[in-house]
Amino acid sequence: MVKTVSALVLDGVAPFEFGVVCEVFGIDRSADGVPNFDFKVCGVEPGVPLRTSVGASLTPDHGLDALVGADLVAIPAITRSDYPDVALAAVREAADGGSIILTVCSGAFVAGAAGLLDGRKCTTHWMHADALAARHPTAQVDRNVLYVDDGNLITSAGTAAGIDACLHLVRRELGSEVTNLIARRMVVPPQRDGGQRQYIDQPIPLRCSEGFAAQLDWILEHLDEPHTVAALAKRASMSARTFARRFVDETGRTPMQWVTDQRVLYARRLLEGTDLDIDRVAEKSGFGTATLLRHHFRRVVGVTPSDYRRRFARGESDRAAMV
């Protein structure tokens, strides 16, 4: 569980990306039921102002020693290509000590310079993806996602994608209820859909056309039934090829990928809010068997359904409301 968060700031830090980290982890929302994070802003020289990417100054209160031992080290975008060796050493020490490293946009280059991207899945702003891949040839740079969760390393694409990555981490570590509370205060969706592998709290994509939304509505109402592209296309009065192409255009996912995403999402809700056994969850969510549910759930979420339930199950009153 994340309780302590340290943000690294260097000369050239981007205010928006830094602000995203502050907004999610640095604001006291205990009145809303959100646990407080012990949040620190760290720099090479505490008390010495740094120039941001827009010309304003920012002064860190803490030194690099506050990175080491933090549950989470957040690295916002830095608009420079060279980084102080002492900062990179502190990031490495934090990672070696068990800290989760989260980067926003070009903050991935800092993690890369610290040697944390070698052989790892990661992402950054699409404008910088080729440069990141060239600088770190063994890194598996995904140019098409909002963020990548690779366990103790979470990297996000540009700007607002940092919100998605931060909220994803909150959800992973503290559950959907806390995430929703923070997102509601920020007036952003708890999670956005798209090419990234993640939960989708809003099953109907925001960019989906009104005419196609009815097809998705029907699928969501019949998740427990078997689906094929051919059958869904026939229902939509389209050829299978046209339907599949249109589906990707509307949702960013193939029909079967999207259906699987929604089934995992529904299974997650059943695990959080009911006492149904795993076989019944598999049946109601459309996977049919517990084996298939475990396969897809672990692939998407990173843990087994049973482990997820132990971490995120709601109280008795919440479960009663779901039944």
Task: Kindly report, residue by residue over 215-265, the tens digit of the pLDDT.
Answer: 888 998 999 999 999 999 999 999 999 999 999 888 888 999 999 989 998
Parallel, antiparallel, or unpaired: how do β-strands 140-141 and 121-122 relate? parallel
Which residues have CB under 8 Å from 94's CB, separation 6+?
6, 67, 68, 69, 70, 73, 101
Work out the burial of residue 73: count CB atoms within 10 Å of its CB; fewer than 13 is exposed, 13-18 middle, 19 or more buried.
Answer: buried
In a domain, 194, yes or no: no
Contact between residue 5 and residue 74 where contact means Cβ atoms under 8 Å apart: yes
Taken in order 92, 134, 125, 303, the sign of the CA dihedral is negative
Q: Are 59 and 174 contained in the same domain?
A: yes
What average pLDDT does this structure show over 137-162? 91
Residue 208 buriedness (CB in 10 A; 0-12 / 13-18 / 19+): buried
pLDDT tens, position by position, 29-88: 999 999 999 999 999 999 999 999 998 999 999 999 999 999 999 999 999 889 999 999
* Residue 193 domain flag: no
Q: Does 196 have pLDDT greater than 70?
A: no
216 and 310 assigned to the same domain = yes
**196 within a domain of the structure (yes/no):** no
Residue 148: predicted pLDDT: 93
Residue 177 banded pLDDT, cuts 50, 70, 90: confident
Residue 259 forms part of a structural domain = yes
- Asked which of 129, 151, 186 is the last residue of a domain, the reply is 186
Q: Indicate which CATH number applies to the domain containing 167.
A: 3.40.50.880
Spatial distance between the Cα atoms of 218 and 206, rounded to a whole number of angstroms: 17
Split at pLDDT 50, 70, 90, the class of 143 is confident
What's the structural domain count of the chain? 2
Mean confidence (pLDDT) of the chain:
88
Is 218 found in the same domain as 172?
no
Residue 148 domain-assigned?
yes
Domain termination residue (choose one: 161, 186, 211) = 186
105 lies in the same domain as 150: yes
- pLDDT for 192 equals 61
Beta bridge partners of 34: none
pLDDT at 13: 97
**Single-letter amino acid code for the residue at 60:** P
The per-residue pLDDT for 197 is 35
Cα dihedral sign for 16, 18, 21, 23?
A: negative
Query: In terms of domains, do 259 and 304 share one?
Result: yes
Task: Quote the domain boundaries for residue 313.
Answer: 203-323
**Range 95-120 burial, b when 16+ CB lie within 10 A, else e:** beeebbbbbbbbbbbbbbbbebbeeb
SS3 174: helix
pLDDT score for 198: 32
Q: Return the pLDDT at 265.
A: 87
User: Do residues 127 and 250 share a domain?
Assistant: no
Domain contains 136: yes
pLDDT for 315 equals 56
Residues 254 and 152 both lie in one domain: no
- Per-residue pLDDT band at 311 (split at 50, 70, 90): confident
Residues 216 and 178 in one domain: no
Q: Is the residue at 320 inside a domain?
A: yes
Q: Is residue 159 very low, low, confident or very high in pLDDT (cuts 50, 70, 90)?
A: confident
Q: Are residues 50 and 103 in the same domain?
A: yes
CB 12 within 8 A of CB 154: no
Is 271 within the bounds of a domain?
A: yes
Q: Are residues 323 and 258 in the same domain?
A: yes
Last residue of a domain, one of 152, 186, 220: 186
Residues 166 and 218 in one domain: no
Which residues are CB-contacts of 35 (< 8 A; sequence separation ≥ 6)? 3, 174, 178
The string of pLDDT tens digits covering residues 83-124 is 999 999 999 999 999 999 999 999 999 999 999 999 999 999
Measure CA 214 to chain center: 28
Q: Is the pLDDT of residue 146 over 90?
A: no
Residues 8-17 pLDDT 10s? 999 999 999 9
The enclosing domain of 310 has a CATH number of: 1.10.10.60
Residues 87 and 37 in one domain: yes
